[in-house]
Amino acid sequence: MNPASTRYRRVLAGVRDVVSRIPDDRWNSPSPCAGWTTLHVLGHLVDGQRQIAALITGQGPREPLKDPAAAVDRDPAATWDATARHMDGLLATVDLSAAVPSHHGDVTVESVLASAVIEPLVHAWDLARAADLAVLLDEEAVATCLAVIAPMAEQFAATGMYAPVLAVRPDASPQQRLLALLGRGTD
């Protein structure tokens, strides 16, 4: 199996682990994402996977939902489980070298997965944080994302989609450094 596909599947499984541990009374808790609850973050992930599915199957880009929470059914864990199973099925059959239309022109499916993995990776931490759960993110995915984001973290913050870069201790773990580069507190 291709490293980008394997990594993406592991990260989706990490989200599944976090979602399965979120207590029912924490879905309306504030998340680290300004103005969003835990349910909004999960909805954003569900909608994001629908967008990735459209990309990797050649349907092209689709716009995100205006209200991400609308992507989640009455049972958030079941919604994510169905989403992850659907993506797992697609990832098992899709041609990773296929060129597909994206916002940036034609790119390979492998390229889509390599760049998109940051979303479920970091939002797994957001979900855990909102529910007051501990989470250790996939180390290899963290290292891969850290190598890409470190040189351009200020550009990520400039988009307004991420908070400004935060300082970290010199002995910070790769996970702590990645989160800080994306404006997330690591305490």
pLDDT in tens, the chain (187 residues): 568 999 999 999 999 999 999 999 999 999 999 999 999 999 999 999 999 999 999 999 999 999 999 999 999 999 999 999 999 999 999 999 999 999 989 999 999 999 999 999 999 999 999 999 999 999 999 999 999 999 888 887 788 778 888 999 999 999 999 999 999 986 5
Domain count, the chain: 2
Claim to verify: residue 81 and residue 128 sit in the same structural domain: yes
Q: What residues have CB less than 8 Å from 159, skipping those under 6 apart?
A: none
H or E segment to which residue 102 belongs: strand 99-102
Claim to verify: residue 31 and residue 52 sit in the same structural domain: yes
Claim to verify: residue 121 and residue 30 sit in the same structural domain: yes
Claim to verify: residue 99 and residue 173 sit in the same structural domain: no
Calpha distance 10→150 (Å, rounded): 22
Q: For the whole model, what pTM was predicted?
A: 0.94
> What separation in angstroms does the CA of 100 have from each of 39, 60, 72, 82?
31, 7, 27, 24
Claim to verify: residue 122 and residue 151 sit in the same structural domain: no
Angle CA 38–139–103, to nearest 5: 65
Domain that holds residue 186: 138-187
